[in-house]
Amino acid sequence: MDKTNRQHITMDAITACRVCLCGTANPFARVDNRDYWSCPTCTSIFLDDTQLPDRQTEYQQYLLHNNDPKDPGYQAFLNKLAEPLLKKLEPGMKGLDFGCGAGPALGLMLADMGYEMNFYDPFFFQPDTSVLHKTYDFIVCSEVAEHFHQPSHEFARLDAMLNPNGWLGIMTCFQTDDLKFANWHYRRDLTHVVFYREETFRYLAWQFGWDCQIPAKNIVLLQKSGSIAPFSRRKQIPERRPR
């Protein structure tokens, strides 16, 4: 991102990375009166916390989504995550569709395959918060992680809900080109407030002790350690960047 865009971001306060909690984020860009920061540690990019959309704005945007669980095209899109994840699962496993939206297509697809599925969305399935107090063999987050206002908190919550050796499957558009960030379609969605690179997920995996696999573009599979003891390197910085 060019220096002209960067210099408009004020540095009145220290901005810590909301993704990895390590180090201080740097000004990245000011686009459409929105300030973005980049983390030199985990390489994520995120919107200034004073500019995060309010709940009503998010809800109205989500109502515009036309995610029909019966739409073959949408099912094909979700299969980009489902197919590599299914290779890791065993019959009878219990899963959670986290951030499933009003039409929980991916969770329903997995339920049709015989998996025991639960559903959670803070806007459309919020009354059933009991699902957040259970543990699962796998959790899917399709087009969800980019909406996290507090990513570090959400990843810790997801880790806590995974059984040992459990899988977290995420689909989100990876940020790859700084020069194209301003005009990137993914950034222009007002509810997309955090953006990840492959390196970001490898860093998070290092922090949480997960195994990280990236089987396809914009897809990441994270496996929790088989150890019963909690594992975390959160707020630690490695000597070398995890690979």
Q: For position 1, what pLDDT does the model report?
A: 46
Q: For position 64, what pLDDT does the model report?
A: 80
Q: For position 127, what pLDDT does the model report?
A: 66
Q: For position 180, what pLDDT does the model report?
A: 97
Residue written as tokens 């953006």? 195
Tell me the residue ranges of DSSP E strands in 12-150.
26-31, 34-38, 45-47, 94-98, 116-120, 136-142
Q: For position 11, what pLDDT does the model report?
A: 44
C-alpha distances (whole Å) from 153 to each of 116, 124, 157, 204 are 26, 20, 6, 12
Which spans in the chain are helix H?
Answer: 3-6, 55-63, 72-86, 105-112, 151-161, 185-188, 198-208
pLDDT tens digit at each of 243 positions of the chain: 444 354 444 444 568 899 999 878 999 999 999 999 999 999 999 999 999 999 999 989 888 877 777 888 889 999 999 999 999 999 999 999 999 988 899 999 999 999 999 999 988 866 678 999 999 999 999 999 999 999 999 999 999 999 999 999 999 999 999 999 999 999 999 999 999 999 999 999 999 999 999 999 999 999 998 875 556 676 655 555 566
Q: For position 242, what pLDDT does the model report?
A: 61
Q: For position 14, what pLDDT does the model report?
A: 64
Q: For position 22, what pLDDT does the model report?
A: 86
Is 233 in contact with 210 (CB distance < 8 Å)?
no
Q: Which CATH class is domain 3-223?
A: alpha beta
Q: For position 237, what pLDDT does the model report?
A: 57
The domain locations on the chain are: 3-223
Q: For position 62, what pLDDT does the model report?
A: 84
